Structure 1
């Protein structure tokens, strides 16, 4: 039976994992059960589903339904540079346009970074996104492509290459330099292969220029510098032309003698002619940018802030032109000109845009600082010689020499020499760290007083510095939940303002005093100009950019931008013990064995088993055995029992090593060591039981010293009004002893990794939002369960991947600093939003003339333009205050 599809929506979704016809049937059945779906066809060969529906369906619902059948939908993340956005309504329009594209799962647009972050099905054609953005009235920018060109000999060669490049589809501009034999090509969706082929077809040879490792922030910074330069140029030109217009018109109103002088020397009509010429130049040249963007947006029925400026200034200009050349067309007593309003408004808004562009450039300085940490070259060993090479030419396992005062170029391991390394720019830790053979060094850190040779372990995008930059960029581009409300408001804000301006004009024209047309025009223009939504759009993203950037400088990385908002909502900070509260470097302190067993013999069995484990406690036991010169024996059937301990076979005996729960689970009584366990717990030591076959033979104890900064860090958290909890798999007595020493409020002990998740849930139910801090593999589930997971950067990769925030140093004081900067950033955002909304709520009615009947006060369009320009500058300047945020000084708490 053929299904009628003429009025239906159609969606295509790729599917992974289908192997047979029954898979196809399963997926089709699931899709057909969705409300609104009229037909679903799944093709096993192409691995695609085509869904027809009677209404627009959310692609996320379809994907969720497919995943429930046991198959997956392959997705990809796309980042686009959006050009031409000026305000929050632009952001809303771009997001709306992108979300309409078939295959887009989510789309977030950031005004401050001028980027769109998208998640789409992996079959989505990028040109569909480009078309959607262009249809909305904006452009997709791309990073410039640099080419090395050989074979050019004169200026005509340059012209031929530029002409060949300009003919390639998508190229906006191509600049060729004969001196350095390079081409810089700008455009959209460019292919380096197409460009190279075009050059070679013109008779020259070309290759892609190797780019040094950097972030997109550099090109963004250059772009903003260029934008600021152009705005500065246009502002000065507009100011130069607008000043005579303002003096001629307003001087005549304010100074009677000047009015008499103009009337005598030039005459009012000639004065108006001069103002007409100068204002026309302003609108055609420096003010042209507003009309190029604003008028098309208005015609698409999607007005933005450029539309407000365009309509406002053109209304004043048009009225003045009629008054100058066709005065008989206007009612009596309304023949006035407002050239000065149009001219000065353009100049003032250009000034605001220029100041805004300069300030926006400062918001990404943190990333530029991080990029600047990496040197441009490195000294590598080649045979018996040392030579300098570009940083992008470094490869893994190369030997690199670092002399005193030089920066470490890449991550590596020291193979020769010793020195002190300043890692403060990466970790936030002020003290230099001693480095010797086999120690790790991080790219971007500073070598102080010795010469080191290192073997490169991570280069390029795998390096810690590159990953830090990537984390910061992702966090800066994030959209917080608080921004959702702003987006909903700004989507209809500009149309609402235009309606208010129209209503203002009608009411003043019908009810206003004589000349009512003049009053109607001036007040309507004031409403249009005052209501710029730029400040609304910049309020949140600029604060996020500066806040996360400053946090990175202090050694706190927000892997997920929305963690910035969730962190300040925390009621409890839950901490793991080993490696978080403590150094994570335990030492063996005590051995208790039952009669009939020898200490060294028991230690031999235990160390032989523990040598196969990577736990810090295992290292302490093995190290103690080696210090006693105990020879280790072969071990078989090694089995790690998560959260409990280890089981293995040694010398035909089954050896059990672990927590009291493990021994009790095996049916043995542990009461025989009750006295020793109590003594050890009071000293904050961790007891470990040893069972051989079916007999408990002894207890060993390890001590893990508490970090020097832990106590003051917990004091700082208490001063922030937070509860502090400790969640550990350690013995209850030991955990209580540590908690008492550190003044911890809540202790949950003897828990497995899964029970840590349940402990987090318990705290969430009891107190509210929970932040969990951990560093081990067994902490990953708890980090994921917590409202905010904070991983110690010295911990494992798995823990870091599960976390929302990463501390680059093992200093717990950074937790308090991170929470403080979260509070400061959210307060800053609220200040910005308050200013942006209150500014518009208060000034739009004043611009409309609501005070005139009571006080005779009207807001000049010129003052409206000045206020509008300053609103955005105020918001960005307020956000930039976060650059001065200082880490919490816990030394004052001692």
Structure 2
């Protein structure tokens, strides 16, 4: 499924959960569509295709269902639409206010009312002019034999307006109370609620728009001694760019020349500038500091870090949380159920001897308060706000299912190298069997040519020119093999030594006991024999101990899982206060350890390397460091954009808070309807109060979700928690 092509469409005209469901069903009827998910909060549809299909085909299906769609929405169009919506709200409120004024003034002893003809005129302008959008949407719902919020609004307000016209025309000379203020005020309040929802959605989506705005349009490319300004689309890998102080990096790259600092706050959430020097990676969208840099392009377009972040955030905000599926099923039967309740209310009051106008008004109140807007917004609004807040602080959540899994995590398993440690081990000791340590280093480094492994980098930085390497191959979980200067060699760990039926000498055992990672260089001819031993040591990240403390304070059990030797693992575990240690575990064995822990706990795995991918996939929740490999990030549900293990606790925290907001929102959405409908049916709520309650329910749900945008990690990035 994940390999199938996907399209994202912007959908307009949706007003409630039933609308989103209708768009989904229209898309799923197309033979080319494998899956469709429509997000009411972001007004976006994610479509997975089982076969190639033009976007026009999908857009046509949505338009047949009565909505508008496009591949992307221009920000100017969004601003223009928001402006039109705001103008409609202001006009509706201004026209409804004179109708509502007598009701507001009556408790103060002021008895005043507009002439009936003027009430009819003002209410008609709101009902059929500003409110025409509700009639269009209701007609689309009726054509497909489906119900939505607009149908309820139209039925309720039209009944109130029609009743008022009937009463006025049947007794034009007799003074009486008309209900024009109810129909016009309800429409004005519904429009106000929708405008506030839209404003809140735009606010919740600011994180994604801020990321999109980081993308540069042009770059300064160096060709020989000449500089030229080119469009980013014209760049190619290995191009050399000149990045001036204060300019944005146009794409991902590696610094060739110069020293500076980069502001990566919007990308990684790191508030402090990050030092950059030759050999360091830079990320497109970050801002160069005080120095001029020459940068070699390494990734462009969809392969860039920024594009990957945007895709992850969009995917998380567009995906449907598992609990939303239940809400969708409830919403689908909700409108028909409300229509039945409204009809029963009307008949009940009539059979009870109430006047026709009283029965109609109570039925109208039921229709108005029952709009399921809040129900449809409860989950997507919280997901939109939560994932956006997480992204601003360097935590990328892949989908809404991840939010649900993260909430239950009670065990976190850390990889060691590059996750809890700096991942930059140093060569501390070396011993050659023949005493020639320079040759030992030269042969071992030659075997590691081209490798990105931290131990290889530590070895290569100690050596200059190296002999050629032939027939190089990896030995899974053991080391590397190859031929150097005609001699077959292998370099690896204790497992390699045992496979070759060789034993470790006293000095290597002593280095292991000190917590060093030990590698043996073995010559394979005339028979396998040890040429020498190398000892490396890595140090724990400064934030690692605080990260473990944060998790343990939340009742989460921490484990250390590594392929390294037991001495090295215990040294780091002691430094960061982890008591559960699993050492000398092969990549496949890591997944087995995770599976064993999952029998009794909900397990999260934190890693950064290719060898961590099986364990990340096997865990209930995988968290990958963005400083690691793409394979690790693809296997993980959450990507941490900074190499700060404290973000693990922060990621679990924002997931729990988002899930809590979803539950709160659903509670309030159901309470409004469960309490409001009986009160309206019993005659204790007028249509105006019902309309106010309905608008407030939607607004309260969105505002409750927006509290998540204020979230901050529970630690200072400058120090300890």
Match of 1:357 among 183, 198, 201: 198
- Does residue 1:740 correspond to 2:593, yes or no? no
Q: Unpaired segments of 5 or more residues in structure 1?
A: 1-59, 61-72, 144-215, 853-857
Q: Which residue of 2 aligns with 1:444?
A: 285
After TM superposition, the structure 1 = structure 2 runs for residues 408-419 of structure 1, keeping only pairs within 5 Å, are 408-419=249-260
RCO comparison, higher one (Cα < 8 Å, 6+): 2
TM-superposition CA deviations, 1:580-614 (whole Å, max 9, x none): 111111111122455x5543443343233233543
Q: Structure 2: how far apart are the matches of 1:719 and 1:286? A: 55
Q: CA deviation at 1:304?
A: 0.3
Q: 1:737 to 1:312 in 2, by over 3 A?
A: same
Q: Which residue of 2 aligns with 1:282?
A: 126
Q: Which residue of 1 aligns with 2:608?
A: 775
TM-score by length of 2: 0.93
Q: 1:763 to 1:121 in 2, by over 3 A?
A: same
After TM superposition, the structure 1 = structure 2 runs for residues 20-419 of structure 1, keeping only pairs within 5 Å, are 75-124=4-53, 129-143=58-72, 219=74, 221-247=75-101, 250=103, 258=111, 271-327=115-171, 337-381=178-222, 386=227, 388=229, 391=232, 394=235, 396-419=237-260
Answer yes or no: is the 8 Å Cα contact 1:225–1:361 preserved in 2: no
Q: Structure 2: how far apart are the matches of 1:112 and 1:85? A: 10
Q: Structure 2: how far apart are the matches of 1:108 and 1:737? A: 48
After TM superposition, the structure 1 = structure 2 runs for residues 14-25 of structure 1, keeping only pairs within 5 Å, are none
Q: 1:350 to 1:697 in 2, by over 3 A?
A: same
Q: Structure 1: how far apart are the matches of 2:532 and 2:719? A: 45
User: Which protein shows a greater Rg?
Assistant: 1
Q: Structure 1: how far apart are the matches of 2:517 and 2:333? A: 62
- Does residue 1:564 correspond to 2:403, yes or no? yes
Q: Secondary structure at the match of 1:859?
A: coil
Q: 1:509 to 1:745 in 2, by over 3 A?
A: farther
Tell me how large the CA RMSD over aligned residues is: 2.7
Answer yes or no: is the 8 Å Cα contact 2:42–2:318 preserved in 1: yes
Q: Structure 2: how far apart are the matches of 1:592 and 1:457? A: 38
Q: Which residue of 2 aligns with 1:685?
A: 516
Q: Secondary structure at the match of 2:615?
A: helix
Q: Which residue of 2 aligns with 1:493?
A: 334
Q: Secondary structure at the match of 1:285?
A: helix
TM-superposition CA deviations, 1:531-583 (whole Å, max 9, x none): 12111111111221121111111111123342222222212111111111111
TM-score by length of 1: 0.75
Q: 1:778 to 1:282 in 2, by over 3 A?
A: same
Q: CA deviation at 1:730?
A: 0.6
Q: Which residue of 2 aligns with 1:618?
A: 456
Q: Structure 1: how far apart are the matches of 2:611 and 2:217? A: 39
After TM superposition, the structure 1 = structure 2 runs for residues 447-458 of structure 1, keeping only pairs within 5 Å, are 447-458=288-299
Q: Secondary structure at the match of 2:655?
A: helix
- Does residue 1:834 correspond to 2:667, yes or no? yes
Q: Secondary structure at the match of 2:659?
A: helix
Q: Which residue of 1 aligns with 2:274?
A: 433
Q: Which residue of 1 aligns with 2:635?
A: 802
Q: Structure 2: how far apart are the matches of 1:296 and 1:611? A: 66
Q: 1:892 to 1:523 in 2, by over 3 A?
A: farther
Q: Structure 2: how far apart are the matches of 1:139 and 1:99? A: 17
Q: Structure 2: how far apart are the matches of 1:618 and 1:251? A: 79
Q: Structure 2: how far apart are the matches of 1:241 and 1:431? A: 52
Bigger shift: 452-461 or 756-765? 452-461
Q: 1:500 to 1:77 in 2, by over 3 A?
A: same
After TM superposition, the structure 1 = structure 2 runs for residues 571-650 of structure 1, keeping only pairs within 5 Å, are 571-594=410-433, 598-611=436-449, 613-626=451-464, 632-650=466-484
Answer yes or no: is the 8 Å Cα contact 2:33–2:51 preserved in 1: no
Answer yes or no: is the 8 Å Cα contact 1:224–1:357 preserved in 2: no
Q: 1:338 to 1:886 in 2, by over 3 A?
A: same
Answer yes or no: is the 8 Å Cα contact 1:686–1:731 preserved in 2: yes
Q: 1:225 to 1:535 in 2, by over 3 A?
A: farther
Q: Structure 1: how far apart are the matches of 2:276 and 2:406? A: 35
Q: Secondary structure at the match of 2:365?
A: helix
Q: 1:602 to 1:846 in 2, by over 3 A?
A: same
Q: CA deviation at 1:653?
A: 4.6
Q: How many residues align?
A: 716
Q: Which residue of 2 aligns with 1:661?
A: 495
Q: CA deviation at 1:490?
A: 0.8
Q: Structure 2: how far apart are the matches of 1:566 and 1:664? A: 40
Q: 1:648 to 1:413 in 2, by over 3 A?
A: closer
Match of 1:874 among 700, 710, 721: 700
Q: Secondary structure at the match of 2:599?
A: helix
Q: 1:765 to 1:294 in 2, by over 3 A?
A: same
Match of 2:623 among 790, 799, 804: 790
Q: 1:789 to 1:514 in 2, by over 3 A?
A: closer
Q: 1:417 to 1:652 in 2, by over 3 A?
A: closer
Q: Structure 1: how far apart are the matches of 2:124 and 2:456? A: 81
Q: Structure 2: how far apart are the matches of 1:123 and 1:401? A: 40
Q: Structure 1: how far apart are the matches of 2:481 and 2:29? A: 57
Q: CA deviation at 1:524?
A: 0.7
Q: Which residue of 2 aligns with 1:10?
A: none
Q: Structure 1: how far apart are the matches of 2:238 and 2:462? A: 33
- Does residue 1:483 correspond to 2:483, yes or no? no
Q: CA deviation at 1:407?
A: 2.4
Q: Which residue of 1 aligns with 2:541?
A: 707
Q: Structure 2: how far apart are the matches of 1:723 and 1:126? A: 48
Q: 1:479 to 1:251 in 2, by over 3 A?
A: closer
Q: Structure 2: how far apart are the matches of 1:590 and 1:383? A: 44
